[in-house]
Amino acid sequence: MGAYDPRMTVPLGDDPRAALVAERDRLRAEVAEGIVAPEPMTYGSQAAAASQVFEQQRDLALRDRNDRQLAEVEAAIARLDEGTYGMCVRCGRSIALERLEALPWAAHCIDCQRIVGRGG
């Protein structure tokens, strides 16, 4: 890359790439090591067993969410590279700046997000 050309970037206050790369690295680390480091259950009650099952289910859900979010973050970085970052992948309109600031990897404008209905 090289010279910083403000016309080539979405007018975010900060470089979204830094936030995206940091988030990607964080998610990769989480996905790689698994979310859980469960505390050993020393009080073997039924409640503890039940809560362990609950935690396993929650961890699976978290891991699934992490995988999905990692894919979204990587896609956003790819869009930065392509120069399409900040455009809705569905309708091609600009994604609202407030939305990108809140969710730098957002792939859809708010209208399309409602239609596709995924989280975020």
- Shortest separation between residue 98's beta carbon and Zn ion, angstroms: 15
Torsion sign, CA atoms 65, 71, 74, 80:
negative
User: How many residues at the interface with Zn ion, by CB under 5 A?
Assistant: 5
Of 27, 70, 76, 88, the one binding Zn ion by CB under 5 A: 88
The long-range contacts involving 17-20, CB below 8 angstroms and separated by at least 24 positions, are 17/77, 17/80, 19/104, 20/73, 20/76, 20/77, 20/80, 20/104, 20/105
| Helical (H) or strand (E) element with 40 | none
Helix axes 46-82, 16-33, angle to 10 degrees: 140
Stretch that binds Zn ion, among 12-20, 48-56, 68-76, 110-118 (CB under 5 A): 110-118
For Zn ion, the closer CB: 69 or 113: 113
Stretch that binds Zn ion, among 8-16, 29-37, 40-48, 80-88 (CB under 5 A): 80-88
- Shortest separation between residue 91's beta carbon and Zn ion, angstroms: 3
What the block records as the tokens of 25 is: 């690295």
Q: Who's near 91: CB < 8 A, 6+ residues apart?
A: 109, 111, 112
Of 90, 96, 101, 103, the one binding Zn ion by CB under 5 A: 90
109 binds Zn ion per the rule CB under 5 A: yes
91 binds Zn ion per the rule CB under 5 A: yes
Q: Which residues of this protein are in contact with Zn ion, per CB under 5 A? A: 88, 90-91, 109, 112
